[in-house]
Amino acid sequence: MSARPTIGVSACRRMLDPHPFHMVGEKYLQALIDGAGGLPLIIPAMAAGIDIDELLARIDGILLTGSLSNVEPQHYEGEDSAAGTLHDPERDALTLPLACRAIEQGIPLLAVCRGFQELNVALGGTLHQNVAIVEGLNVHSEDSNDALDVQYGPSHTVNLVEGGLLHNLLGEPTAMVNSLHKQGVRKLAPGLSVEAIADDGLVEGFRVDDVPGFALAVQWHPEWKTTEDEFSMKIFKAFGDACRERATGRQA
């Protein structure tokens, strides 16, 4: 039996009484184990100490995770953030160039929520900092007072672009997804194709065109209780299959 593919997972940097920690939500790690059949490897947000090419030579895929923090607006020439906005400049410093190099090298990449926004910014796109105040767009954030199962429960429909990767995976024109984000795509980066759109027109999924590897980003959270949702399992399985294919070639 072949070894499981090694999948790098982006970490957030947080200060905890008073030490810095590099953290990944367990739900992402569990989804990679159960859904992708991979071996997760947490990548600390320490750009100065990590050679990206050396890292990519040792792994078979990248998962860019969600986070409570926002991408800093200077990376996409955005306006100043609202007071109190949580940022993670150490994560930005690693994940933005990491995403670009992974795409260039054809390394399978799956980006979720903040990761979705990171990938768009890394490739030259821009963001709405708060979609709830954009005319014509709906509120896409959760109620933090709700139980987690409610926060991560089905929230709205996305329309899957016919012939796209997500449409082909599910075999249906629409899907119900959860919604726990305030930022969203304002301008899609060049070289990206829309995969899913919310009813208000907000882009909820995209793929990177003309690359040799799997490169998909979704705004929702398929990592939440992945094994209990058919669509989520299909996304992670497709990602895992791409990682296994790279692992086979890397080990040959």
Annotated catalytic, 113? yes
Q: What is the rounded distance in angstroms from the CA atom of residue 91 to the CA atom of residue 46?
A: 8
Catalytic residue among 72, 90, 204, 223: 223
Q: Is 221 a catalytic residue?
A: yes
Active-site annotation holder among 90, 118, 221, 243: 221
User: Any catalytic annotation for residue 167?
Assistant: no
Which residue in 72, 113, 118, 195 is the catalytic one? 113
3-state secondary structure the chain: CCCCCEEEEECEEEEECCEEEEECCHHHHHHHHHCCCCEEEEECCCHHHCCHHHHHCCCCEEEECCCCCECCHHHHCCCCCCCCCCECHHHHHHHHHHHHHHHHCCCCEEEECHHHHHHHHHCCCEEECCHHHCCCCCCCCCCCCCCHHHHCCCCEEEEECCCCHHHHHHCCCEEEECCCCCCEEEECCCCEEEEEEECCCCEEEEEECCCCCCEEEECCCCCCCHHHCHHHHHHHHHHHHHHHHHHHHHHC
Q: Hey, which residues are catalytic here? A: 113, 221, 223
